[in-house]
Structures are given as C-alpha cells and as structure tokens.
Amino acid sequence: MKYLLKNLKKYRKESILAPLFKMLEALFDLFVPLVVQDIINVGIRDHNTVYILQRCGLMVGLAVVELVCSITAQYFSARAAVGCATGLRHHLFSHIQTLNFSEMDRIGSSTLITRMTSDINQVQNGLNMFLRLFLRSPFIVFGAMIMAFTIHPRIAFVFAVVIPVLFVIIFIIMKWTSPLYKKVQTKLDGVLGITRENLSGVRVIRAFNKEESETDHFHESNEQLNKAQLHVGRISGLMNPLTYTAVNLGIIAILYMSGKEVNNGSLMYGGVIALINYASQILVELIKFANTVVLLSRASASLNRLETVMDTKPSMIFPDRQATASISEEAVRFNHVSLRYQGAGEESLTDISFCAMRGQTIGVIGGTGSGKTSLVSLISRFYDATDGQVKLLGKPITDWTKEELRSYVGVVMQRAQLFTGTIRSNLQWGKPDATDKQLEKALETAQALDFVRKKPLGLDEPVEQGGRNFSGGQRQRLTIARALVKEPKILILDDSASALDFATDAALRKALRKLPDDITVFIVSQRTSSLQHADRILVLEDGCLVGCGSHDDLLNECQVYREIYESQFQ
C-alpha cells in the first residue's frame, strides 16, 4: 500500500475532488424521493398542475447538477487512477533494472511481465472505482436510512436491520475471494510463461513436430486458469442475489408496515413511495458497492504481488565512490573463487585461481555445464562470488562503482540481442557520442562492415525487435561491434562467434589481435581452433579449473583439453 500512496500523493487534489463531487451528487440524489413525495402528497392530491410542473422542473435541475458532479468526479478519479498507475509502472520498471541476475532468475521474466501489465491495470481499475464509488455508496446507504427516519421513524428501523446484514454479506464474500484472486493471477503467470516460451521457440517446436503436445500443455494450463476464474467468479456472483434478497425482504417489510400506517392515517401515499425509493437507492448502491468490492479484491491481490517485487532488495551493493588505488598490470585475478547460484544444490565454480595480465588474450574452454559462462559473469559482476575474491585491475571488484565497472568491461553474451532502432543506435549503446568513423572501425574489427555497407541505409538501417531482420551470424558480429565501440579495458566474448563460419571466425580472431596492447580479451568457446593462439587457456570441468596454460602445454599436460582437441581434429 505504501507504494500506491506514494504515487497517489502527486494526485492529492484529484483524490480529494473526485469523492467530494461524488458526495455532492449523492446528496442531491437523496432529495429526489422527497420531491416525489411532495408531488404525490400535494400536487396529485390537490390536482395542482402548476405545483407538479414546478417540482418536475426541480427534479430536472437536480438531475443536471448530478450529471455535472458525476462527470467532474469521473474526470478527477480517472486522472488520479491513470496517473498513479503510470507512476507505479515507472517505479516497478526502474526497480527491476536495479535487481541482480540472482533476483531476476528467482522471480522469473514471465511473472514480471504479468505484474507490469495485468496487475497494474487491476490496481488502476480498482483505484478508479474506489475514488468514484467507495465513499458514495455508503453515503447513499446511510443517508437514505437517515432520510427514512425523517419520514417515519418506526418503519425506518427496517433499514437499520437490513443495512448491517448487507455489509456482513459483502465483508464475508470479500474475505473469501481475496486470496482466490491471488491464485488466479499466479495461474495467469503460468499461461503467460507458456505462451512466451512457445512464441520464442516456435521454430524448435515445429522442427520436432510438437505442436499438438504444446497445444495440449497450453490447454491444460489455460483450463486451470479458467477453473480458478470460474470458481472465484461463482463466489463473487453470490453477492448480487444475496443483496437483492435482503433488500427485497426489506421492501416487503416496508410495504407491510406502511399499509397499516396508511390505514391509520399516520403516513401518506407519498411517504410510502419515498420509502420504497430510498430502499431502491440502497439496493442499487449496494450492487455498485458489491461490484466495487470485487474489483478492490482483485486490485488488492495485484497490489500485493507488485509489492512483493518492489520489496525485493538487490543483494549486490555497489559503492557510491570509486576507491582510490593505482591500476595494476594485473587485469583480472581470481583468488580461490567459488560460486553457488541462489537455490542451487551444488557449486557452479569451485576454488578457481588464476591471473590474467593486461593485454593478454585468455581462452576459456570446457564441456557443457562446466562453468565457463559463470566464470566470466564474475568478471563483469553479474553475480558475486560466494567464496574467495575477484580483483579487477588490482582492486577488489566490490570496490568499483557500477558506472566505472561497466565502462571498463565490455561483454558480448552467448545470445546475440539487438534492440528495436537502427544499427547506429544499437552500436552507440556503449558510447552515445561515437562518430561514424569509430562505428565503422568497430564494425571492421567485428567483420561486420561489409554487410552493413551493403544495406540500403547503411548505419541507419532499421533493426526490428530482437534483430530478427538479420541472420544469426550478423547479429553476433553486430553485438561484438557494439562492445568494441565503448573501448573497454577488458573484453569478454562469451561463445559469441558460434554462428560464424571458420573463415570469418579466423578473420575475427586476427582482427582482435590488433586491438590496443592494454585490452585484455577473454574468449569463451567450444572450438580449440578459436583458442589455440591465446596467451593462456583455462580448462574447466564440473566447475573446477583442471588446466591452465598455452595450447601446446595443455595438449601435453591436460587430458581434458587433449580430449576436446582430438574430438574436433581427428
């Protein structure tokens, strides 16, 4: 709730004016039955046409004033709700950007998308209805009861009995449905996750002819969501018939008691109509209130889910200021480093120690799941080591500010990811003021200049979402160029040339050797041919460093490396 109130403070004026105008509308609405009572008791009884027309004109005036108040209230409530939802969305997105890979892995991307879209929309709708009806409906209900006491106190006691019964019904159903709406949103996360997975992996699904099984899987998950929604819908659906029953029983009691009072002469026909009108107003408002309660239950469940994410604090803390120290000739040093991912049963890296000097090219090789990506992720501090210490340019990596660390380390991920825009806008991510000459130099090193020049618009060629208008090899070369543009001191290529042919890969390695002498390059690859010219090669197996040396030394001394080499060249 604190995040909602924090964003709602910016719309304090709208949040006050919206209910205020709704209360004014309700106040004028309460006078209508009294006008009808006067028309019946005076105008119709005395056959006074002028009086009837005057009272009808008064009713029209009240209706116009109510309409103006209603439109004004809805404008302010919509403004406050939409503005608050926008603030929540910005706050949530900004907070997600601060989360580390560990928190992102634990929460999951599909549930974050649901909370960014569906949950915030639920909160927006709930807030809008709250500002419009949550105060108006109780005001009408209790106001109608008070006005009924002014007409006939004894009959008005029916209202005093019916109204608490109605609120008990609403409270019980709200208490019952609130946790169920949380389950519905959780199941919606599952449906979204399956949809996202199938859309991103549609080619693999069709290649293995798994369309039918995936459709069944989606149908099963969607059916669970459907059942959960129907279950909570049936419970929420009890609200209207139960409130209708209570109010109609109250109307029957009013008619029964009014009949006796009319016969006694203590109540006139107009009073009976006014009492029935007040009972009808209570019925209508409680139906609105019940629907508002349902929306608020859903909004409350969604708000709790949002707060769960926003209360998640990043476990990785960066210092505000860079620690003063001389930059060492050592580019990267691992001192007995181990890494265990959050929730994992075993360590991904165990007791890793090595030193990479500035200007060296370091190769990292090993079987699938040996910990290659985990190792280079510690250099860029995507994760923190659970044991040991990682040093960058002679200083503990935890002493570097985020800005300086990201400027010194350039990373090219396993999966080449481009963003909607142009080639130029993607390359300038690391250096927004980079000139065309600098961009072309990076493209030339990444072996991408030729195909970029062949594009009709060159550097201004559009890039579609995810770079789907480029081939896999083109995407990889563009991401390498993007990292080179920022001119990092440490360049990490995490299996980023897997889609390149051998000739292009060889040309890329040759170009990387011409980089300035102070740049340290880490190359993660499955190909020994891509690493054999590296100054040092780290060989990993099951998270342990089983070999470290040059290509020739490892062939003679490291059985794991020799097996990898022979599997590729014999």
Neighbour order of strands in the sheet with 349-357: 349-357, 330-339, 387-392, 395-396
Mean pLDDT of 430-457: 89
- For the cut 60, the answer to whether the pLDDT of residue 238 exceeds it is yes
Look at residue 333 in the predicted model and tell me its pLDDT: 92
Secondary structure (3-state) at 212: helix
- pLDDT band for position 323 (50/70/90)? low
Q: Can you tell me the distance from the alpha carbon of 334 to that of 513, in angstroms, rounded to the nearest whole number?
A: 24
Look at residue 140 in the predicted model and tell me its pLDDT: 85
Mean pLDDT of 343-348: 79
Neighbour order of strands in the sheet with 520-524: 409-412, 490-494, 520-524, 361-366, 536-541, 544-549
Quote the percentage of the chain above a pLDDT of 90. Answer: 15
Mean pLDDT of 101-109: 77
Per the rule left: phi > 0, alpha: psi between -120 and 50, beta: everything else, 286 is alpha
Q: Element (H or E) spanning 64, and its range?
A: helix 49-98
Look at residue 337 in the predicted model and tell me its pLDDT: 92
- pLDDT band for position 363 (50/70/90)? very high
Beta strand pairing call for 361-366 and 520-524: parallel
Backbone angles phi and psi of 362, in degrees to 5? -110, 125
- For the cut 90, the answer to whether the pLDDT of residue 334 exceeds it is yes
- pLDDT band for position 329 (50/70/90)? confident
**pLDDT (tens digit, 9 = 90+) per residue, 521-535?**
999 988 888 888 889
- For the cut 90, the answer to whether the pLDDT of residue 32 exceeds it is no
What 3 state SS string does 134-186 have?
HCHHHHHHHHHHHHHHHHCHHHHHHHHHHHHHHHHHHHHHHHHHHHHHHHHHH
The structure tokens listed for 223 are 């059916």
- For the cut 80, the answer to whether the pLDDT of residue 185 exceeds it is no
Q: Can you tell me the distance from the alpha carbon of 487 to that of 435, in angstroms, rounded to the nearest whole number?
A: 13
- pLDDT band for position 383 (50/70/90)? confident
CB 425 within 8 A of CB 439: no
Look at residue 132 in the predicted model and tell me its pLDDT: 85
Chain-centroid distance of CA 562 in Å reads 47
Lowest mean pLDDT among 230-239, 313-322, 428-437: 313-322
Lowest mean pLDDT among 235-239, 321-325, 548-552: 321-325
The listed range with the strongest mean pLDDT (168-177, 456-465, 508-517) is 456-465
Residue from 239, 126, 237, 131 nearest 185 by CA: 126
Q: Can you tell me the distance from the alpha carbon of 472 to that of 134, in angstroms, rounded to the nearest whole number?
A: 55
Mean pLDDT of 166-192: 80
- For the cut 70, the answer to whether the pLDDT of residue 207 exceeds it is yes
Mean pLDDT of 428-455: 89
- For the cut 80, the answer to whether the pLDDT of residue 304 exceeds it is yes
The structure tokens listed for 57 are 């004109």
Look at residue 254 in the predicted model and tell me its pLDDT: 82
Helical ranges in 99-131 per DSSP H: 101-107, 109-114, 120-129
Residue from 98, 130, 93, 83 nearest 115 by CA: 93
- For the cut 70, the answer to whether the pLDDT of residue 469 exceeds it is yes
Look at residue 129 in the predicted model and tell me its pLDDT: 87
Mean pLDDT of 262-268: 76
Look at residue 345 in the predicted model and tell me its pLDDT: 73
Look at residue 468 in the predicted model and tell me its pLDDT: 84
Mean pLDDT of 415-443: 89
Q: Element (H or E) spanning 483, and its range?
A: helix 472-485
- For the cut 80, the answer to whether the pLDDT of residue 108 exceeds it is no
pLDDT higher at 13 or 106? 13
- pLDDT band for position 322 (50/70/90)? low
CB 451 within 8 A of CB 474: yes
The structure tokens listed for 447 are 């072996």
- For the cut 60, the answer to whether the pLDDT of residue 326 exceeds it is no
- For the cut 70, the answer to whether the pLDDT of residue 570 exceeds it is no
The listed range with the strongest mean pLDDT (37-41, 216-220, 289-293) is 216-220
Look at residue 65 in the predicted model and tell me its pLDDT: 92
- For the cut 90, the answer to whether the pLDDT of residue 72 exceeds it is yes
pLDDT higher at 344 or 22? 22
- pLDDT band for position 353 (50/70/90)? very high
Residue from 103, 114, 120, 91 nearest 9 by CA: 91
Burial category of 232 from C-beta neighbours within 10 Å (exposed 0-12, middle 13-18, buried 19 and up): buried
